[in-house]
Structure 1
Amino acid sequence: MSPVIAVLGLGEAGGRFATDLVAAGATVRGYDPRVDAPPGVHQGKNAAEACTGAGVVLSVNSAADALAALEQGRPGCAPGTVWGELNTAAPAVKEAVLRAAGERVVVADVAIMAPVPPRGLATPMTASGPGARAFAAVLGPLGTPVEVLDGPVGLAATRKLLRSVFYKGLAAAAVEALAAAEAAGLADWLAGNIADELVKADAATLDRLVTGSRTHAVRRRHEMQAAAELLDGLGVPARVARASRDWLDDLAAG
């Protein structure tokens, strides 16, 4: 028998998951107040109706809407329904969802660990909390690689957000540097330089970055202050440059 899965939130990620779940043979019920359900997905009149009969619910909304989605969908859930909390949110939000769930649904804190559009249902995920294993047992055979973490709700979110600090911070640094390079007429040169450094990165790169920052914190602090002043002169907000300077200040003081 094909699993019945509800998807709440049919935007870029939720819509792709719903479409791929249908292709994988699941019966999919969906609801989004702003987006129509994709072909093959049974559209509910509201969240509770979409959840009716589902063994697993994927809540793919936003951190701000996570609790509201649970409150609206929970009345349609049978006892024991697995509530996959996929929203990118702080651990405290995931814990609030767990408390609000009560005994009716079993919550899995699920973190999406890569961009969804390129892979869809094959996007890797991690899951923690009481519903993690049941979530993986249903989604895994449908093509989703789910790493189950032995730990509470909030653990998967913590891993996701720690990773985000690096990757989104790296992206912000690239955006800021390239904006300044464009203003200085050096965009092509800097883009090539950054690309070369990324290609050369290896397992030892992280250690060099951290060790070098600690060893040369004072000198690098002055370097990043100068970089921030350069960006000021170019009319580019030096947010990452000044944050780097401040971290080097702390490392020098420590």
Structure 2
Amino acid sequence: MTVVAVLGLGEAGSLLAADLVAAGASVQAYDPKVATPAAGVTLTASDAEACAGADVVLSVNSAADAEEALRASLSSLKPGAIWADLNTATPALKERLGSAWARTADVALMSPVPGRGLRTPMTMSGPAAGDLAAILRGYGADVTVLDGPAGAAATRKLLRSVFYKGMAAAVVEALEAARAAGLEEWLRDNIATELIRGNAGTLDRLVDGSRKHAVRRREEMAAAAELLGDLGVPARIAGASRDWLADLAASSE
């Protein structure tokens, strides 16, 4: 039986821990904010205690805590243990973790964990990625291993986040402005229609159209940013769009 330590029992960590227990792993965990873990998960009093005797450590606490959690646990890690960092962090942080413990894996969760749990698509890189993939696949995980150092998986995750989280921020800003203008329901329906209509050619139209019509769209987004200001809504995304279009316009001159 594989002994897995899970550091952090937030939304992702708790679901992964529960699925690992259900699949037959022995799970010991630590989270200072959790008093009652999922059934079958052994709660410990510290990161180091959770890691004692573990074959695999899944660090799912936060990027801010990831490095300290590893350093606090080094004396408890048994030889050959795999330290897997699942936090959304920079490639540089993933590399620092690898310099502190050789058997590391950079793990990027490539979709939301709720509803999928351990079957959430994972992309891994780093020296222990292959071994970690073999272990987790045995418990039902969906894993893709990259031929690259720690940080390679994080790079893909963060580049994807620029689009997904950026798109989400644009929607939030647009709906906030529409609410102020009394047009939220109309815009919500419009956005939903456009998302449903999207297909493989949408990407090319977005990119090619932005380059071809950069000057006109720059002025359009400048006007949009001004409108948001009049409505009392910070034009963070609209302003950034205006500036990107200005750069595209300048590069084509």
* TM-score where L is the length of structure 2: 0.97
2:196 corresponds to 1:185: no
Could you tell me the percent identity over the aligned residues? 64
2:80 corresponds to 1:80: yes
2:165 corresponds to 1:202: no
**1:160-189 CA deviation, whole Å, 9 max, x = no partner?**
000000000000000000111111111111
Gaps of 5+ in 2: none
2:155 corresponds to 1:158: yes
Structure 1 counterpart SS, 2:84: strand
Q: 1:194: how far off?
A: 0.6
Whichever residue aligns with residue 249 of structure 1, its letter is A
Gaps of 5+ in 1: none
Residue 71 of structure 2 corresponds to 71
Q: Distance in 2 between matches of 1:118 and 1:227?
A: 37
Whichever residue aligns with residue 181 of structure 1, its letter is A
Which piece of structure 1 moves more, 33-42 or 10-19? 33-42
Q: 1:12: how far off?
A: 1.3
Whichever residue aligns with residue 127 of structure 1, its letter is M
Structure 2 counterpart SS, 1:160: helix
Whichever residue aligns with residue 108 of structure 1, its letter is A
Residue 27 of structure 1 corresponds to 26
Residue 144 of structure 1 corresponds to 141
The Cα RMSD (Å) is 0.9
Residue 42 of structure 1 corresponds to 42
Moved over 3 A (4+): none
Q: Distance in 2 between matches of 1:68 and 1:12?
A: 21
Q: Distance in 2 between matches of 1:92 and 1:11?
A: 24
Whichever residue aligns with residue 250 of structure 1, its letter is D
1:1-254 pair list within 5 angstroms: 2-36=1-35, 37-101=37-101, 103=102, 106-254=103-251
Structure 2 counterpart SS, 1:142: coil
Q: 1:241: how far off?
A: 0.2
Q: 1:119: how far off?
A: 1.1
Which piece of structure 1 moves more, 106-115 or 117-126? 117-126
**1:94-134 CA deviation, whole Å, 9 max, x = no partner?**
11111122x4xx00000011111121111111000101011
